[in-house]
């Protein structure tokens, strides 16, 4: 237990300064008392009582509780009171040695305190400077973001008014592009700064601060050693040979011996102990990128045609600065040491501060170099992304002039059918518009490959994706004659091009070295979009509209969820996640997946059509006719479905009446797996967006930790919805009010006519500690037993 590990907090710092002040005051008291003692040798008889009383009146005594020095001093004062008549013989020695030593110690103590306070102030200023740097860069980011929004709005306005041509439109477009570029550069500077200041703050907190406190402890203990010498001198010049005074002397010596520098601050440290200094967390403000259409991502450099040159130049500058800093660290230039006094060297932090500054600067530069290198290396083989968002133009018109002005680097565009390209739909290794993230999931072994379609700025591109030293994506190039190629020969169709690359064993490009070995065929769940006939819109989901549809082959009516074409790939990946989860499950109380359609836009998830609609709507429409037996059966169906999910280690995370469907014979089916995770435990790290607060367990809201027992809490709310016949949980409360009351122990009362056993089960589901809640296997047993009892 020492200063460096136990006194890092601000309150400890204040307490240490207070202790230093108290010790300085004590030195003043000792010097004053000994001076008076010397002067009062001849007047001892009349002054000794007041002298000893004054010596015991230690200022700021509350800050010296547990001090061995204080106790020793008090004992010495008692002995002085008994030996008053003998002090005169030692007056000269005490004045010449002891008082002078105290004066010197007093000056050194004050200097040490001043230096410590200056170092703490410097350290706090460093932390504040790091925080201010981030705040200033964030403010700059926000200003550039506002300018970006303004220029984008003006561009759209002039675009519509001017009819897509004219000098004014060109000027507005130029300003818009300039604002985009400035926003992207500021974004990158913000990302680099966050990583750099994190490294610097870590060194300040974990290296410099503990070193400062460790030195302070050494200084304090050294002062205590000097202090002990002063006390020993007092004893020495108060020594007498008579038995009576020798006994007094022994008591004084014992009091001095009780002073131990290592133990002096034990009680002080224990009383004022604080936790090690918490790190200053520099977190990317995700609100800054909300309005950039997914072009800018938190904590990720943007590598595109607006930033690529800047990044390369910046990398060169940083590497030059890094090399210079490393050379300075290897050959440090320190001033010559003129003072060999150990006390002075202990208080001299200049060398350590300079070493820390260089190390912090090196880490800051190295972090930025690593981030830029990694971002440039991740660019891969696919075309450079566009750096400004003009996607709205494709919704205005299909004019060739606009296409020429704003489309990307690649010219390739192919029709999936016709124009010498054959019918890609017939090839099992063609996966349509499957998002890039899904493609990466399918390609797992070196040489695995497939072909997909992507769209950029309203232009269709055919991409060959290969698992090779990671994942590489090659755009099929077109020749002026309408043939297709990569680096080698041209072919009249994409099928022939792919077969050539596969069978020849030649790398797709010499730079990548990627060789095609195993074609990854479409999964049996991948349906052709043309096999699904959309009939009528029946709802709206998070990603697009929901339709009643019919399968061409068997005339079966189905439900189809569609994904908006304009959503970024990340959102499309989340959309397909529900299909990926559902295709593994087969249970009468889980909505069944029929297939997914990714051959072309829009992407669709095809599921069984559950005719009764959502359970919440059903409860509200039939509130006057639903019986208690039906309510119990609904609870039983939901429990059966959740028991099945629990056995598959699936956490639903959004169980509620609105996400359950009512099928034939009023059977309840669990639906809407958009937030589900196939893990025993899942930690949310992306904030509380789209979290159903009133249905979510406290540990998930407070700590982002999800388990199947969180679904148990939600199931308790679902039972409450069923027995309240579609009521609103925590009616009249806001989300934050409901959270506060739940944390304080509040639980909703039972809805009218709810069986006591059901309400007790609800309360068990709402236990604050997750481990006290029942699992779904137990819940199903209870509900099934009750359901049979009410037959």
Site of tokens 């994409």: 494
For residue 65, is pLDDT > 90? no
Is the pLDDT score of 271 beyond 60? yes
Query: pLDDT > 70: what percent of the chain?
Result: 86
What pLDDT, on the 0 to 100 scale, is given for residue 1? 65
- pLDDT tens profile 555-605: 889 999 999 888 877 788 778 877 777 877 889 999 998 888 887 888 899
Model confidence pLDDT, tens digit, residues 409-446: 233 333 344 434 447 878 889 988 877 777 888 899 99
Rounded to two decimals, what is the model's pTM? Answer: 0.45
pLDDT, position 413: 34
Average pLDDT, the chain: 83
Does 3.30.505.10 match the CATH number of domain 408-519?
A: yes
Residue with tokens 């800051």, as numbered in its chain: 364
Q: Strand pairing of 471-475 and 545-551?
A: unpaired
Dist. CA 55–CA 34, nearest whole Å: 9
Nearest-angstrom CA–CA distance, 617 and 338: 86
Q: Which two tokens stand for residue 52?
A: 């000893």
Flag whether pLDDT at 93 surpasses 80.
Answer: yes
pLDDT value of residue 131: 94
Shortest CA distance to 194 belongs to which of 124, 132, 284, 300? 284
Q: Which of 413, 415, 422, 599 is nearest to 499 (CA)?
A: 422
Averaged over 18-31, what is the pLDDT?
92
Q: Is the dihedral of CA 555, 556, 557, 562 positive or negative?
A: negative
Q: What value does the mean pLDDT take over residues 780-786?
A: 94
Asked which of 205-209, 385-389, 440-444, 543-547 is least confident by mean pLDDT, the reply is 385-389
Closest CA to 657 of 587, 751, 579, 727: 727
CA angle 481, 484, 490 (to 5 degrees): 80
Alpha helices in 40-98 (DSSP H): 44-56, 68-82, 91-93
Closest CA to 634 of 665, 607, 603: 665
For domain 526-608, give the fold: Phosphorylase Kinase; domain 1 (3.30.200)
Q: What is the largest CA-CA distance in the chain?
A: 123
Structure tokens at 223: 């002062």
Parse the chain into domains and list their residue ranges: 3-289, 308-377, 408-519, 526-608, 615-789
679-714: per-residue pLDDT in tens? 555 555 444 446 899 999 999 998 888 899 999 999
Spell 166-193 as b/e; 16+ CB within 10 A means b.
eeebeebbeebbebbbbbbbbbbbbbbb
* pLDDT score of 261 more than 50: yes
Which tens digits make up the pLDDT trace of 280-309?
888 888 888 877 766 688 888 887 667 877
User: Which of the following CATH numbers is that of domain 3-289: 1.10.150.250, 3.40.50.1220, 1.20.1270.60, 2.40.50.140?
Assistant: 1.20.1270.60
> Catalytic residues, which ones?
654
Among 264-268, 301-305, 649-653, whose mean pLDDT is lowest? 301-305
Which stretch of DSSP H or E encloses residue 789?
A: helix 776-789
What digits encode the pLDDT tens for the residues 141-182? 999 999 999 999 988 888 877 666 678 888 888 999 999 999
Which is more confident, 347 or 503? Answer: 503
**Cα 743 versus chain centre, distance:** 24
> What pairing do the DSSP bridges indicate for beta strands 459-467 and 471-475?
antiparallel
Residue 238 DSSP code = T
For 420, the token pair is: 């010498």
Residue carrying the six token digits 């999964």: 523
Using alpha carbons, list the distances in angstroms from residue 183 to 179, 188, 305, 307, 436: 6, 9, 13, 10, 26
Report the DSSP beta bridge partners of residue 606. 560, 595
| pLDDT at residue 744 tops 90 | yes
Q: Report the pLDDT value the prediction gives residue 299, as an integer from 0 to 100.
A: 85
Output the pLDDT for position 46: 63
Annotated binding site: 538-546, 561
Angle at the Cα of 369 (from 363 to 375), degrees rounded to 5? 135
Which residues are documented as binding site for ATP? 538-546, 561
Q: What is the pLDDT of residue 393?
A: 32
**CB proximity list for 133: less than 8 A, separation 6 or greater:** 193, 197
Percentage of the chain modeled with pLDDT above 90: 41
The CATH H-level (homologous superfamily) assignment of domain 615-789 is: Transferase(Phosphotransferase) domain 1 (1.10.510.10)
């Amino acid at each position: 237990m020492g200063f460096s590990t136990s006194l890092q907090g601000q309150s400890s710092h204040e307490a240490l300064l207070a202790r230093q002040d108290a010790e300085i005051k004590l030195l003043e008291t000792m010097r004053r008392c000994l001076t008076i003692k010397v002067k009062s040798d001849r007047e001892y008889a009349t002054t000794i009582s007041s002298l000893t009383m004054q010596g015991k009146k230690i200022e700021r005594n509350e800050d010296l509780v547990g001090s061995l020095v204080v106790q020793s001093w008090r004992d010495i004062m008692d002995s002085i009171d008994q030996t008053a008549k003998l002090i005169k013989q030692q007056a000269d020695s005490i004045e010449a040695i002891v008082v002078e030593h105290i004066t010197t110690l007093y000056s050194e103590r004050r200097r040490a305190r001043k230096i410590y306070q200056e170092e703490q102030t410097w350290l706090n200023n460093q932390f504040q400077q790091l925080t201010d740097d981030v705040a200033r860069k964030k403010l700059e980011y926000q200003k550039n973001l506002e300018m970006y929004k303004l220029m984008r709005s003006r561009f759209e306005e002039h675009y519509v008014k001017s009819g897509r041509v004219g000098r004014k439109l060109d000027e507005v477009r130029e300003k818009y592009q300039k604002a985009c570029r400035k926003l992207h550069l500021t974004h990158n500077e913000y990302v680099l700064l966050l990583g750099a200041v994190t490294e610097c703050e870590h060194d300040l907190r974990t290296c410099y601060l503990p070193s400062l406190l460790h030195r302070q402890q050494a200084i304090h203990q050294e002062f205590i050693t000097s202090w002990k010498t002063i006390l020993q001198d007092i004893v020495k010049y108060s020594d007498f040979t008579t038995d009576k005074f020798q006994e007094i002397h022994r008591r004084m010596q014992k009091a001095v011996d009780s002073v131990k520098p290592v133990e002096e601050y034990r009680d002080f440290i224990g009383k004022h102990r604080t936790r090690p200094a918490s790190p200053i967390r520099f977190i990317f403000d995700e609100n800054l990128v909300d309005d950039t259409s997914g072009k800018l991502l938190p904590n990720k450099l943007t590598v595109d045609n607006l930033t690529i040159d800047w990044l390369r130049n910046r990398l060169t500058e940083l590497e030059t600065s890094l090399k210079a800093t490393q050379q300075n660290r290897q050959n440090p230039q320190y001033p010559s040491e003129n003072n060999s006094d150990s006390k002075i060297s202990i208080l001299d932090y200049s060398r350590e501060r300079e070493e820390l500054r260089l190390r912090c600067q090196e880490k800051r530069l190295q972090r930025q170099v690593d981030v830029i290198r990694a971002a440039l290396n991740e660019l891969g083989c696919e075309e450079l992304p566009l750096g400004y968002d003009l996607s709205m133009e494709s919704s205005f018109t299909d004019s060739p002039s606009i296409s020429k002005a704003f489309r990307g680097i690649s010219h390739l565009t192919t029709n999936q059918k016709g124009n010498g390209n054959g019918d890609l739909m017939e090839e099992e290794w063609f996966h349509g518009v499957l998002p890039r993230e899904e493609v990466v999931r399918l390609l797992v072994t070196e040489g695995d490959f497939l072909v997909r379609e992507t769209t950029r700025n309203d232009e269709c591109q055919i991409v060959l994706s290969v698992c090779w030293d990671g994942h590489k994506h090659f755009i099929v190039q077109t020749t002026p004659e309408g043939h297709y190629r990569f680096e080698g020969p041209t072919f009249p169709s994409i099928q022939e091009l792919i077969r050539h690359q596969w069978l020849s064993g030649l790398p797709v490009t010499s730079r990548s070295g990627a060789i095609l070995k195993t074609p990854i065929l479409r999964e049996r769940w991948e349906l052709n979009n043309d096999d699904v006939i959309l009939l009528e819109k029946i709802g709206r989901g998070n990603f697009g509209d929901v339709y009643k549809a019919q399968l061409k082959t068997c005339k079966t009516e189905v439900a189809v969820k569609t994904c908006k074409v304009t959503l970024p790939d990340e959102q499309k990946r989340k959309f397909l996640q529900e299909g990926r989860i559902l295709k593994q499950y087969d249970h009468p109380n889980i909505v069944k997946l029929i297939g997914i359609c990714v051959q072309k836009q829009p992407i669709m998830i095809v599921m069984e059509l559950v005719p009764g609609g959502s359970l919440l709507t059903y409860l509200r429409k039939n509130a006057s006719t639903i019986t208690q037996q039906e309510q119990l059966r609904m609870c039983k169906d939901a429990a059966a479905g959740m028991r099945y999910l629990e056995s598959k280690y699936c956490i639903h995370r959004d169980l509620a009446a609105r996400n359950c469907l009512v099928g034939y014979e009023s059977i309840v089916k669990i639906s809407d797996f958009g937030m589900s995770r196939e893990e025993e435990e899942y930690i949310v790290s992306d904030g509380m967006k789209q979290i159903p607060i009133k249905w979510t367990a406290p540990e998930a809201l407070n700590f982002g930790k999800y388990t199947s027992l969180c679904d148990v809490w939600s199931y308790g709310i679902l039972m409450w919805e069923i027995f309240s016949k579609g009521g609103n949980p925590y009616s009249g409360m806001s989300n934050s009010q409901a959270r506060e009351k739940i944390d304080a122990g509040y639980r909703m009362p039972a809805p009218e006519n709810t069986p006591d056993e059901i309400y007790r089960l609800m309360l068990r589901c709402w236990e604050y500690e997750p481990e006290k809640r029942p699992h779904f296997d137990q819940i199903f047993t209870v509900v099934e037993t009750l359901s049979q009892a009410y037959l």
